[in-house]
Amino acid sequence: MPHAINRALRFAEFGGLEQLSLVTSERPEPGPGQIRVRVAVAGLNPVDWQILASPALAAHFGVQPPTGYGNDFAGVVDAVGAEVTRWRVGDRVFGGARARAAADYFLAAADDPRVLATPSGVTDLVAGVIDIVGRTASAVADRLRLGPDDTVLIGSAAGGVGTVLTQLAVATGARVLGSGSPDSAEVIRSLGAEPVRYGAELVSEVRRAAPSGITAAADLYGVTAATAALELGATPGRVVTIEADDPPVGAVAINGRDARPEALPELLGLVASGRLRIPVEQTFPLADYRVAIERQQQRHTRGKLALVMAEPGR
What does the pLDDT look like over 121-154, one tens digit per residue? 999 999 999 999 999 999 999 999 999 999 999 9
Banded model confidence at residue 244, pLDDT cuts 50, 70, 90: confident
Contact 126, 264 (CB under 8 A): no
In this structure, the strands spanning 34-43 and 304-308 are antiparallel
Please tell me what DSSP assigns to residue 99.
T
pLDDT at site 314? 47
Rounded to two decimals, what is the model's pTM? 0.95
pLDDT at site 1? 40
Please list the alpha-helical segments (H only) found in 128-159: 131-144
Determine how many CB atoms are found less than 10 A away from the CB of residue 55.
Answer: 13
- 264 vs 174: CA distance, rounded Å: 22
Banded model confidence at residue 3, pLDDT cuts 50, 70, 90: low
262, pLDDT greater than 60:
yes
Contact 268, 164 (CB under 8 A): no
pLDDT at site 48? 97
Q: Which of 175, 151, 145, 123 is nearest to 254 (CA)?
A: 145
**Which pLDDT tens digit goes with each residue over 65-118?**
999 999 999 999 999 999 999 999 999 999 999 999 999 999 999 999 999 999
**Which pLDDT tens digit goes with each residue over 152-208?**
999 999 999 999 999 999 999 999 999 999 999 999 999 999 999 988 899 999 999
pLDDT at site 199? 84
**Which pLDDT tens digit goes with each residue over 50-69?**
999 999 999 999 999 999 99
Contact 267, 139 (CB under 8 A): no
How far from each other are the two terminal CA atoms of the chain, in whole angstroms? 22
What phi-psi label fits residue 249: left (phi over 0), alpha (psi between -120 and 50 degrees) or beta?
Answer: beta
pLDDT at site 311? 52
Q: Which of 3, 11, 38, 6 is nearest to 25 (CA)?
A: 6
Q: The sheet that has 216-219: what strands, in order across it?
A: 194-197, 175-180, 151-155, 216-219, 239-241, 251-253
Banded model confidence at residue 2, pLDDT cuts 50, 70, 90: very low
Q: Which residues pair with 43 in a beta bridge?
A: 306
- 262 vs 241: CA distance, rounded Å: 22
Strands (DSSP E) along 199-303, which ranges?
Answer: 216-219, 239-241, 251-253, 280-285
- 28 vs 289: CA distance, rounded Å: 22
Largest Cα–Cα separation, the chain: 64
**Which pLDDT tens digit goes with each residue over 266-296?**
999 999 999 999 999 999 999 999 999 999 9
pLDDT at site 300? 80
Q: Which of 272, 259, 214, 287 is nearest to 22 (CA)?
A: 287
Question: Residue 101: helix, strand or coil by DSSP?
Answer: coil
